[in-house]
Every structure is written in C-alpha cells, then in structure tokens.
Structure 1
Amino acid sequence: MLKIFINPGHDMDLDPGACANDLREVDIVLAIGQEVKNIMEGIGYPCQLIQSDNLNGETAGKPNVCGTANASGADVFVSIHCNSAANTSAKGTETLIYNIGGKAELLAKCIQAQIVNSLGTVDRGVKTRPDLCVLRETIMPAVLVETAFISCEEDAYKLQLRQRAFATAIARGITDYEKLL
C-alpha cells in the first residue's frame, strides 16, 4: 500500500490563505485533509498530515513540510488548497504538478477526475506550476489540489457543506492512481 503525505495548505497561526464568503481556506483544507487521512487509514493506508506555512525551512518553530515529507518515506504527496480570484464568477477544480509526464501527472489526473465527477465542479484541468515549493522540493510524486474557488459563492457552498465528498474524491483518486502503477 502507498504511504500518503497530506499537506492541508497554509497555517492556523500565521497564514489563513484565501478568505471569502465568511470562510477561511486554512480551516476548509484542514477539515478535508483530516478526512482524507481518516478515509485512507480506515482502508489500511499509512498517512502523515502536516499543516504549516514552513514549506522548506523558512519559518523557525514550525514543521518543515517538504523536509518532513521527504524524510517520511511517503510514496505520494498531496497538498490541499482552495482557489480564489478577484472575479467571483471564477469556479472549478484544478490540480497542479511540477511538470508534465510521470507519476505526478498520473496522480493529478486521477484526483482531478474524481473531484470533477463526484462534485460536479468545473474541470479546470491539470496544470504545471514549477514555481511552487511543495511541488519542486518534494522527492515523491507531488500534487497540489485546488479543490474549488472560495471566492465563488457556488463553490464556497460546496467547500463548506461537502468537505467529506471532496475528501472521498481525493482518496478515490489516490486509490485509482495506485491501481494504475
């Protein structure tokens, strides 16, 4: 079984992430991440979860996300976020990877398909983001899931009321990926 490293984005104390529609990204993604962990552990997958703004050793006193993930022996890294835009009609799900090709792209496609099909979000696709530390500095296949737009009222409703559905879709995406290896 795959060993899963889950990284709900941002930090409770220092960086709430995107805030809109009376929601904070940090709270939403922690709830989804904890539920992914519960689901995966419930079916036998070992998991580790860290939420911290210290992505690569830049914030003293906080867990180092990339360093801890790299030392954990994890087979996959899944960072969970909410998207936001000034245009409040922007909506949907996208999954980010370091580059095209390889296992990270396969994992991203599996998770993306499960979220879009399960929750009916707009499919914004799999996109490359080599500038993101958690994708660049991790040694295992890594994805950053932008679950939905917290700034869009329709998506915010899903983020608030369908967290278990997001978590279940992410978990199914991970198991779909494992079947393809």
Structure 2
Amino acid sequence: MPIAAISAGHNSIVPGANSSYGREELVARDFVQRVGHYFRQAGWSVVDCTDNVGTTQTAVWTNCANNHLRVKSAFDATFHLNSFNGSASGTEVLYHPSYGNLAKCEQLGEVVANAFGTNWRGVKSRPDLGWLNKTKTDYYFELLFIDNESDMKKYNQNADKAARALVSTVTGVDLVPVSKYVVTGGLGVNAISEVSKYFLDHNWWAKIEFPGEGNNPFAVTGGLSEESLAKFEAWLKARGWYYEVRQ
C-alpha cells in the first residue's frame, strides 16, 4: 500500500501568517485533513508529519522535515499559506532546483489552483528553504494568500474540491466528494436559540462554535443531502442571515 506523507506548516506555539480571514496553522491543518481523507479513500496509507511541539521557527520545520524523512513515502507534501499586502493573490509551489521535479510541481500546482479558482503564480525556486533542503523532495505548496479576502472565500468554498483534485491527480483514482455543509455568520442569543430549534426539529448533527476574542458565535452543520441543504438555505434566506456552503 503506497504511503502519503503530508504536513501543515507552523503550529500554535509558532504561528505563521494570519489575518482577519484566518490563521495559517489552522487553515493548513484543515487542508491536510482533507487531503488525508482522500488519500485514504484512494486506498493509500497516510502519515501526518505536522509538528505541534516546536517552540521556534527552526525547530518546527526541522521536526516536520524529520517526520517526513522517517516515512518511506510515495508522495510528500507540506502545505502553507502566503501573506503579503492584502492584494497579492494566487497559488504557487516552491521547489529545490537540485532535488525537485519542476514538471510535476507545475502539474500539481495548476491542478490545485484551478480547483480553488485562484491565479496560478507558477513554480518558484527556493533552495534557501530548510524543509526542501533537508527532505530533498517535493512538494511545498503555498495554497493561497491568507490576507486576501477573495482568496480566502475561494478556500472556504473550494477547499474540498482542491484536495480531491490533488489526490485524484496523484493517485489516478476518481474520488467521491464529501457532503456539503453550512457555516453561518455571527449569531446573537435569539438567533442561536432559533437555529438550535431548527437543528433539533430536524434531528441533525450540528454545533455552535464560540470562537472568543470578541467574535460572535456561529453555527456549523454536518454533511447535508441536496434536499436538506436546499431547505435550510431557504430558511436562512427567509431570515436574511449570512451563511456559506462548504465542502
């Protein structure tokens, strides 16, 4: 059984880029979970090489690289997000010119960018990056820009599609998408009560997230059938509530 070794950049101790639209270490871990799901669906084993204990930037990437090197993998990738000035956007893949496969980086990078609907920025030579130097392998993905509102909307809408497209290209297996689910905007006390009643009346799995730091609570459903999704969307629209459909 082939093995995929995958990792997310940074950790909660040494966070990467962040903005009002998200935190790099959290978004990258979300994507790694999605990629892992589809590799398992394709019949592969998955090893998550993400580091959660390093207390310096060097320790984080070194631990992560060492985790990759312990695995006899058929595919290695680490996933990160860019940040610049709020207007830069798009997807790119970083590689080492001495060890990397430029053509494969180009192929997989374009697949991910097309699935996200982001601008493809191309493959960038980065022989200075420690992870690439130590692992001597591909792939180092910069999925999109976490400080760009449009990019992050595309992530929230198409993350599952991008993960599925990547794994399908690597494995050659047609994969079944994860069911769609709904994330609401911020909710007040009355709205929490109202939407909770909807969930109870329909016997759904769902949760109310309380993110703290001055941010309003919001609701997250489980995977929904097309019929259930359509009815819930109509219910939300009738109340003028903001929501996003995600996969």
TM-score, normalization: structure 1?
A: 0.82
Partner of 1:159: 155
Structure 1 unmatched runs, 5+: 177-181
Number of positions where the alignment pairs a residue of Structure 1 with one of Structure 2:
171
Please report how far the alpha carbon of residue 43 of structure 1 lies from its aligned counterpart in structure 2 after TM superposition.
0.9
Q: Which amino acid counterpart does residue 144 of structure 2 have in structure 1?
A: A
TM-score, normalization: structure 2?
A: 0.62
Distance of 1:15 and 1:174 partners within structure 2: 31
Please report how far the alpha carbon of residue 58 of structure 1 lies from its aligned counterpart in structure 2 after TM superposition.
5.3
Larger of the two Rg values belongs to structure: 2
Partner of 1:179: none
Please report how far the alpha carbon of residue 171 of structure 1 lies from its aligned counterpart in structure 2 after TM superposition.
1.4
Give the share of equivalent positions with the same residue, in percent.
26
The answer (yes or no) to whether the contact 2:88–2:145 under 8 Å persists in 1 is yes
Distance of 2:43 and 2:50 partners within structure 1: 22
108-117 or 39-48, larger mean C-alpha shift: 108-117
Distance of 1:29 and 1:169 partners within structure 2: 17
**Pairing 1:137-156 to 2, within 5 Å after superposition:** 137-139=134-136, 141-156=137-152
Mark the CA change 1:173 to 1:142 in structure 2 (over 3 Å): closer, same or farther.
same
Q: What value does the CA root-mean-square deviation take over the aligned residues?
A: 2.7
Please report how far the alpha carbon of residue 119 of structure 1 lies from its aligned counterpart in structure 2 after TM superposition.
2.2
Partner of 2:97: 99
Q: Which has the higher contact order (CA 8 A, sep 6+)?
A: 1
Structure 2 unmatched runs, 5+: 173-247
1:110 aligns with 2:107: yes
**Pairing 1:12-91 to 2, within 5 Å after superposition:** 12=12, 14-52=13-51, 54=54, 59=59, 64-86=63-85, 88-91=86-89
The answer (yes or no) to whether the contact 1:112–1:173 under 8 Å persists in 2 is no
Please report how far the alpha carbon of residue 82 of structure 1 lies from its aligned counterpart in structure 2 after TM superposition.
0.9
Distance of 1:40 and 1:21 partners within structure 2: 31
